[in-house]
């Protein structure tokens, strides 16, 4: 059963191998299920709240995952909005009828019931709680069963945190190899919690690392320029802050002061074991840290940089000590939750925690919750503890009827596209196959451009309406990355930072951040053959197998779903979409 795909589903995958997929390993009775069933088992997962989405699984194979923000040019972080008819249409588009669905699984959240507006109707859903598990004896797989009159069927809901745990573990190479792993989940609205998934299929809750939620990062930031006008729970703020710290300097005396405040408060409070105690601790800590920072006399940018370093050091120090104390054998770690998008913290964990292997999926935040809630069902009910998946499992390019006298179109090979990028020195929007999963553009919904001019970063930030300090990421052929980046190890999902090597800084100025680092994406020939080929063609012209890669979207919206939406945006002259080049016949704005 593992690795197999029936003809119907294979046809729906557009005749393409699921390149780069991580294989699956049926466990704990999964083979018995396969022997008993004469047809595929279909599961649908739904994430209702922000970063809403819907996933479709055939047995333990992810067939599709559609995030709401990637449909119809929806706003970033959109909630689930598909009506019954739209959901049926989505299922039909991948060869499945609503009556064939064996399991409907809905991600848990903070309120019960959770109400969503669908087709003008306010629909309540009884969902499992978020899953703040303070008692290590608690069951992370606790579930709630309910009936939806709107969908006309029963569904199951699991703790939100369980979706993070199993989206990370089940997608990991550790799961493929049948190895145990620690799992760390740290979300904006939760505190960092450690688990262990063993060879026996048992998930242990190992407690919290420290009483600071992920949102403390932005709660602190809004007290200082340039973020005073932001809401502390603005989901876009953390990424901006992470980029901004390159402008500041780590101040040792202030850093020592932050650690002293934290250590004194921990020592003085005694055990912090309940949600209320953790919130109280965090509020007291935040007030003291902000007061200390404002009294320091340092510039705001130095304050923000130092606070970032403080959180990084607490995370690394506490995680290392906890893993040393537990000593449960092989030191694998899977990491999920919104905080796992912080590339600098990720690099520090990988570098300093003595891990055998660190795995972070490309959808560690709530963009992966529709996947994770089905993974939880597969583990809890069916004995699968790994899945087969492909990062390019999002929506296809929308086939929208569109004609404009201001645009021309022609066939265009990848070699011709590389030449256009090289010779025109203009950005090109690339819409290639199915959209990538998660919040990072990984080549299939990207703006690509020559990295050889420092003005390109300015141009890209201007047309994207982004702050001038925001970095532009490089996309590089995997086999060549160590020549230009340190460490340059495979990083297909842009989840770590790499230093641009000194002899490459002058050759790649557009992708070199203010601190000399880059949020690198590496591309292998097997994982994305089209983009890999484009990089090879570009190298023959420019001498570097590297391009600028930033997401193809307008400010506040998800990826462009089709050529028409890009043309109506109006800020580029060239759009390459699955072998066709659309060229604006008048200059872009």
What digits encode the pLDDT tens for the residues 226-270? 999 999 989 999 999 999 999 999 999 999 999 999 999 998 877
Average pLDDT estimate for 360-370: 98
Pairing mode, strands 407-411 and 203-208: unpaired
Average pLDDT estimate for 304-326: 97
Average pLDDT estimate for 397-410: 90
**Residue 11 scores a pLDDT above 60:** no
- Inter-residue contact 349 to 374 (CB < 8 Å): no
Measured distance CA(367)–CA(45) in Å, rounded: 12
pTM (2 decimals)?
0.92
Tell me what pLDDT residue 224 has: 98
Tell me what pLDDT residue 133 has: 74
Best CA proximity match to 508, nearest among 550, 543, 551? 543
CA 189 to each of CA 161, 216, 219, 309, 439: distance values in angstroms, whole numbers, following the listed order: 11, 9, 11, 20, 18
Tokens of 17: 């191998």
Q: Please name the helix (run of DSSP H) or strand (run of DSSP E) that holds residue 158, with its range, or none.
A: strand 153-158
Measured distance CA(191)–CA(559) in Å, rounded: 30
Q: What does the pLDDT look like over 211-224, one tens digit per residue?
A: 999 999 999 999 99
Q: Where are the domains of the chain?
A: 7-171+362-382, 209-359, 407-584
Measured distance CA(449)–CA(422) in Å, rounded: 8
Beta strands in 415-490 (DSSP E): 428-431, 445-449, 473-477, 485-486
Question: What's the distance, Cα to Cα, between the start and end of the chain in Å?
Answer: 53
Average pLDDT, the chain: 90
Task: Output the furthest CA–CA distance in the chain (Å, rounded).
Answer: 71
Tokens of 419: 């030449």
- Banded pLDDT at 111 (limits 50, 70, 90): confident
Tokens of 131: 């899953």
Helix, strand, coil in percent for the chain, rounding step 5: 35, 20, 45
Sequence-distant (≥ 6) Cβ neighbours of residue 583 within 8 angstroms = 407, 408, 409, 410, 573, 574
Helices 252-269/275-295 angle, 10° precision: 150
**Residue 113 scores a pLDDT above 90:** no
**% of the chain at pLDDT higher than 70:** 92
Q: In what order do the strands lie in the sheet with 485-486?
A: 485-486, 498-500, 517-518
Q: Please name the helix (run of DSSP H) or strand (run of DSSP E) that holds residue 203, with its range, or none.
A: strand 203-208
Q: What does the pLDDT look like over 413-439, one tens digit per residue?
A: 999 999 999 999 999 999 999 999 999
Q: What does the pLDDT look like over 129-160, one tens digit per residue?
A: 898 776 667 788 888 999 999 999 999 999 99
Best CA proximity match to 128, nearest among 105, 150, 151, 148? 105
Tell me what pLDDT residue 589 has: 52
Average pLDDT estimate for 371-383: 96
Tell me what pLDDT residue 338 has: 97
> What is the third-level CATH fold of 209-359?
Nucleotidyltransferase; domain 5 (3.30.420)
- Banded pLDDT at 38 (limits 50, 70, 90): low
Measured distance CA(72)–CA(374) in Å, rounded: 25
CA 437 to each of CA 168, 313, 444, 464: distance values in angstroms, whole numbers, following the listed order: 13, 30, 10, 21
Measured distance CA(335)–CA(330) in Å, rounded: 16
Domains 7-171+362-382 and 407-584 share a fold: no
Tell me what pLDDT residue 10 has: 30
Q: Please name the helix (run of DSSP H) or strand (run of DSSP E) that holds residue 268, with its range, or none.
A: helix 252-269
**Residue 20 scores a pLDDT above 60:** no
Positive or negative: CA dihedral 327, 332, 336, 342: positive
**3-class SS of residue 548:** strand
Tokens of 453: 């001019």
Average pLDDT estimate for 65-70: 96
Q: What does the pLDDT look like over 491-525, one tens digit per residue?
A: 999 999 999 999 999 999 999 999 999 999 999 99
Residue 332 half-sphere exposure toward CB, CA atoms < 13 A:
20
Tell me what pLDDT residue 402 has: 82
Q: Which of 90-99, 142-151, 312-321 has the highest mean pLDDT?
A: 312-321
- Inter-residue contact 192 to 333 (CB < 8 Å): no
Q: In Å, how far from its chain's centre is CA 54?
A: 15
- Residue range 407-584, CATH number: 3.90.870.20
Q: Is the preceding peptide bond at 226 cis, omega within 30 degrees of 0?
A: yes
- Inter-residue contact 434 to 63 (CB < 8 Å): no
Measured distance CA(572)–CA(213) in Å, rounded: 40
Tell me what pLDDT residue 32 has: 31
Sequence-distant (≥ 6) Cβ neighbours of residue 365 within 8 angstroms = 51, 187, 336, 337, 338, 340, 341, 438, 439
**3-class SS of residue 521:** strand
User: Radius of gyration over alpha carbons of the chain, in Å?
Assistant: 24
CB atoms within 10 A of CB 438: 24
Q: Among 67-81, 111-125, 308-322, 366-380, whose mean pLDDT is lowest?
A: 111-125
Q: Please name the helix (run of DSSP H) or strand (run of DSSP E) that holds residue 481, with its range, or none.
A: helix 481-484
Measured distance CA(198)–CA(169) in Å, rounded: 11
Best CA proximity match to 471, nearest among 494, 490, 488? 494
Beta strands in 271-367 (DSSP E): 332-336, 357-359
Tell me what pLDDT residue 1 has: 29
**Residue 9 scores a pLDDT above 60:** no
Per residue, what are the HEC states of 129-143?
CCCCCCCCCCCCCCE
> What is the third-level CATH fold of 7-171+362-382?
Nucleotidyltransferase; domain 5 (3.30.420)
Sequence-distant (≥ 6) Cβ neighbours of residue 29 within 8 angstroms = 382, 383
Measured distance CA(197)–CA(182) in Å, rounded: 6
């Amino acid at each position: 059963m593992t690795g197999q795909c029936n003809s119907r589903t294979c046809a729906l995958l557009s005749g393409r191998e699921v390149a780069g997929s991580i294989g699956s390993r049926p466990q704990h009775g999964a083979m018995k299920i396969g022997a008993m069933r004469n047809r595929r088992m279909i599961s649908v997962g739904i994430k209702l709240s922000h970063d809403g989405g819907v996933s479709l699984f055939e047995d333990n194979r992810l067939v599709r995952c559609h995030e709401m923000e990637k449909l119809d040019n929806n706003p970033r972080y959109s909630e689930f909005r598909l009506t019954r008819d739209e959901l049926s249409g989505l299922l039909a588009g991948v060869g499945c009828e609503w009556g064939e669905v064996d399991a409907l699984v809905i991600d848990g959240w903070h309120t019960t019931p959770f109400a969503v507006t669908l087709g003008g109707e306010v629909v309540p859903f009884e969902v499992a709680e978020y899953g703040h598990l303070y008692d290590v004896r608690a069951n992370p797989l606790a579930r709630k069963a309910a009936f939806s009159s709107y969908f006309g069927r029963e569904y199951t809901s699991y703790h939100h945190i369980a979706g993070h745990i199993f989206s990370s573990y089940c997608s990991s190479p550790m799961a493929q190899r049948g190895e145990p792993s620690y799992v760390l989940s740290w979300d904006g609205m939760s505190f960092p919690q450690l688990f262990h998934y063993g060879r026996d299929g048992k998930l242990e809750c190992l407690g919290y690392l420290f009483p600071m939620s992920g949102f403390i990062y932005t709660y602190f930031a809004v007290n200082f320029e340039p973020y005073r006008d932001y809401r502390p729970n603005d989901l876009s703020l953390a990424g901006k802050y992470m980029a901004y710290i390159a402008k500041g300097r780590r101040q040792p005396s202030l850093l020592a002061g932050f650690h002293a405040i934290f250590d004194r408060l921990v020592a003085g409070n005694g055990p912090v074991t309940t949600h209320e105690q953790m919130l109280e601790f965090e509020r007291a800590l935040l007030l003291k840290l902000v007061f200390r920072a404002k009294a320091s006399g340092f510039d705001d940018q130095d304050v923000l940089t130092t606070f970032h370093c403080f959180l990084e050091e607490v995370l690394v120090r506490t995680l290392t000590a906890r893993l040393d104390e537990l000593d449960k054998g092989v030191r694998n770690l899977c990491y999920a939750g919104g905080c796992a998008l912080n590339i600098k913290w990720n690099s520090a964990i990988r570098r300093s925690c003595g891990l055998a292997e660190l795995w972070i999926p490309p959808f560690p935040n709530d963009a992966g919750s529709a996947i994770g809630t089905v993974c939880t069902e597969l583990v809890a009910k069916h004995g699968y503890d790994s899945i087969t998946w492909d990062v390019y499992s999002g929506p296809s390019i929308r086939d929208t009827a569109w004609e404009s006298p201001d645009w021309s179109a022609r066939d265009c090979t990848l070699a011709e596209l590389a030449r256009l990028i090289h010779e025109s020195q203009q950005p090109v929007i690339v819409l290639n196959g199915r959209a990538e999963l998660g919040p990072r553009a990984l080549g299939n919904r990207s703006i690509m451009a020559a990295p050889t001019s420092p003005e390109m970063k300015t141009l890209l930030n201007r047309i994207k309406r982004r702050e001038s300090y925001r970095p532009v990421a490089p996309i590089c052929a995997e086999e060549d990355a160590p020549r230009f980046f340190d460490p340059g190890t495979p990083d297909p999902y842009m989840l770590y930072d790499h230093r641009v090597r000194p002899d490459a800084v002058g050759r790649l100025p557009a992708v070199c951040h203010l601190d000399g680092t880059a949020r690198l994406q590496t591309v292998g020939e097997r994982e994305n053959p089209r983009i890999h080929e484009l990089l090879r063609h570009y190298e023959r012209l420019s001498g570097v197998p590297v391009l600028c890669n930033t997401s193809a979207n307008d400010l506040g919206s998800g990826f462009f779903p089709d050529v028409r939406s890009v043309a109506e945006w109006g800020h580029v002259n060239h759009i390459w979409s699955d072998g066709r080049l659309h060229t604006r016949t008048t200059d872009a704005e």
